[in-house]
Structure 1
Amino acid sequence: MSESILPRRHLSRRRFIAAAGATAGALLLPGAHAVPARALVFAHRGASALRPEHTLAAYAKAIADGADFIEPDLVCTKDGILVARHEADLTETTDVARRSEFASRRTRRTLDGERHDGWFVDDFTLAELKTLRAIERLPQSRPGSARYDGMFQLVTFEEVIDFVAAQSAVTGRLIGLVPELKSSTYFAARKLALEDRFIATLAAHEYTRRAPVEIQSFEVANLRYLREKLGKRANLRLMQLVGVGATRPSDVAAAGGKLTYADMATPAGLRDVAAYADIFSPPTRALIPLRPDGRLDAPTALAQDVRAAGLRLETWTFRPENRFLAADFRDGAGEHARNEAGSVAEIKRYLALGLDGFFTDDPALGRQAVDA
């Protein structure tokens, strides 16, 4: 994600350097609370830099590497089952394009305002989906992960919960879940609304009645609905994800509304978010943007404003390849090369802002940065 929410203003460079030299446990941001001593490490789609995303292998690797939470993005099958996929379009993350028996199901749909040509999860029953196998989304950058193409099944949300509960029992750690409801407006239009299915699944499992669960969405109406239905619970938080600049949430756009993600990132917008959510989750570059030369600029005021609104600050997403890093942290090994030291250094720069949590494709590097 190379763009960011338009910054309201910047902190002075001197103040940022002073903050960067402080530990996360010591840093205080104006107008709010003490920053937590240790930020939470969220495994983005599992350890997706190392295994095909949203597979039990990716989740297992993430947990072994020290993730505090694992992320299942949730979409819905034709027969109403929640499964873990990044989006409704199956084309880039499964072998469906190679499966002649499903060739006739290729079609075009609009997802979250973007036109897609491919195969869609809501055209498949769970039984059919289980015949597919996961593949690596970014094989050029992640050839190590691509070696596992074709090895792993797609999994349901219930299977993810059971797996995490089992891993918790084995490791002795209470591992959190940070599910994202994907494209709620799209699935509602397809008569496959996600929210009540999701609530029923949480209620059906002992683990999700007590383990930490942070529920994310780029939309607004579904989070408001979940807050109304779930209320305030000790183990549950709601996370408002935000995209870039003048982009509107899909539900807002579908209803003809004018609210943009940039509006939501203003002090007034953040106060509105705090009425229904617990967490504000912007892209990393909304917190520290890039200069024209690709190096990090001074931080925006967004971290301060989020805390002033009484919200937690959890950002997305850190990735370990040079192509995704700010120029400050790249090495000379090529854009697709893995750069562990650079990724850890970049995460640490952002941790100095006092993050409550962050998403990373490589939880081992996130763990290393936090533990440092």
Structure 2
Amino acid sequence: MRVSGDLREVEAEGKMTIPPWIFYFVLLNHFLGSLARPIYPLPSKLNKDKQKLQTFRPYNIAHRGSNGEYPEETAAGYMRAIEEGADFIETDILATKDGALICFHDVTLDDTTDVTNYKEFNDRQRTYEVQGLNVTGWFVVDFTLKELKKLRVKQRYPFRDQQYNGRFSIITFEEFIAIALDAPRIVGIYPEIKNPVFINQRSYWEITSESYFEYIKEYVHGIGPWKDTVVPPHDNYLTTATDLVARAHAYDLQVHPYTYRNENQFLHLDFHQDPYAEYEFWINQVGVDGLFTDFTGSLHKYQQWASPQPPADSSANSLLHQIALLTEAYRSQK
């Protein structure tokens, strides 16, 4: 999971979000060297001979699935991301009125579902305080899972493909896990708890301090910062990179910035409308260990071109071993 901090990001669409910073990532089927099933009896196959997770190049992390093509956080979007070569699929987790966990980004349903088309839900519109702001809309927490399954999702951005609007339903976290388990190769999951109001909020400076890195390195494997905090822009041109990546690496923490998008309005002018140039910069000059992207196919094609083969000493087992040690250390403290 990625736990949000206090720093707010204002993205191009003008929507305020909370940048995630701390993550745990899970390698399905091989976590702790075990092939045991998850807690839930998921209707998926157990294949012991799956291709291992690659570790010789930065991770391709599907941000809410391949949501540059499909509506975000849908089964179709996640399956497309896996087909396109994603190493991890990322999701946001919210709880319904009856306690089910669903894959959904916003606390309200307004922007990415057809909730306003249902007369029986007209009286569900509410105004709540969300992280210091009054927000009005149809909130996930006011709907049961059965009610939410009636809704159909739609593309968030009007400039992306609209042909899939109304085709897909909201999925549960359990269904999300099953999608990863059913992949023809090992695919990690990267869940984020949204708006965790009971988790202490911290400032950017606190969660990037040496003391904080020293503290979290015992139980996390890396951080996931908003990319504009790693290399700040000015007038849509990049300025000098901060030392965040180097400091994180000094504590053996990986760095997975977000979010990489192909459209011109999301690309800084330095890249001349070329998302491949952006990948080149972040991977080879900044030295990040993974990228959250809306376009998993584009990132995979770049990586196949730039680093198609692993070096001779590359091994996925080393990463698995590190995660196992972190988890075992945490268990021993309980």
Q: TM-score scaled by structure 2? A: 0.72
> What letter corresponds to residue 267 of structure 2 in structure 1?
L
Partner of 1:261: 204
2:178 equivalent among 152, 162, 171: 162
Task: Give unpaired runs (5+ residues) of structure 2.
Answer: 1-8, 12-17, 20-54, 307-334
Classify the secondary structure of the residue corresponding to 1:61.
Answer: helix
CA–CA distance in structure 1, aligned partners of residues 133 and 290 of structure 2: 29
Taking the aligned partners of 2:154 and 2:134, their CA distance within structure 1 comes to 22
Alignment partner of 1:50 is 2:69: yes
Any idea what SS the aligned residue of 1:349 has? helix
Tell me the residue number matched to 1:288: 231
Which of 365, 368, 372 is equivalent to 2:298?
365
Contact 1:51 1:136 in 2 (8 A): yes
User: In structure 1, what residue type is equivalent to 2:288?
Assistant: L
What do residues 238-295 of structure 1 show as CA deviations (whole Å, max 9, x unaligned)? xxxxxxxxxxxxx33xxxxxx41122223333223324422111111222221x3312
Residue number in structure 2 paired with 1:307: 249
Task: Say if 1:264 and 1:273, in contact at 8 Å, map to a contact too.
Answer: no
The 5 A counterparts of 1:334-345 are 342-345=274-277
Q: Which amino acid aligns with 2:119?
A: S
Residues 1:320 and 2:262 are matched in the alignment: yes
Partner of residue 135, structure 2: 116
Give the partner amino acid of 1:124: F
Partner of 2:192: 180
Per-residue deviation, 1:158: 0.7
Code of the aligned partner of 2:172: T
Residue identity matched to 2:297: A
SS in 2 for 1:269: helix
Any conservation in 2 of the 1:2–1:285 contact (CA below 8 Å)?
Answer: no
3-state SS of 1:184 partner: coil
Equivalence map 1:83-162=2 (5 Å): 83-139=102-158, 141-142=159-160, 144=161, 146-162=162-178
For the 8 Å contact 1:66–1:363, the answer to whether it is kept is: yes
Query: Residue type of the partner of 1:274?
Result: K
TM-score between both structures, scaled by the size of structure 1: 0.65
The letter of the residue matching 1:349 is F
Q: AA paired with 2:253?
A: L
CA–CA distance in 2 between the matches of 1:112 and 1:39?
33
User: 1:100 deviation in Å?
Assistant: 1.5
Q: Once superposed, what is the RMSD of the aligned Cα atoms?
A: 2.0
Distance in 1 between the 2:93 and 2:248 partners? 27
Q: How many residues align?
A: 255
More helix by share: 1
> Who is 2:90 aligned against?
71
Aligned partners of 1:348 and 1:370 also within 8 Å: no
Give the aligned residue type for 2:232: P
User: Separation in 2 of the partners of 1:165 and 1:370?
Assistant: 24
Offset, 1:112: 3.1
Matched-pair contact (CA < 8 Å) for 1:289–1:299? yes
Residue 328 of structure 1, CA deviation: 1.5
Consecutive unaligned residues of structure 1, counting only runs of 5 or more, are 6-35, 189-220, 222-250, 253-258, 332-341
Which amino acid is the alignment partner of residue 128 of structure 1? Answer: E
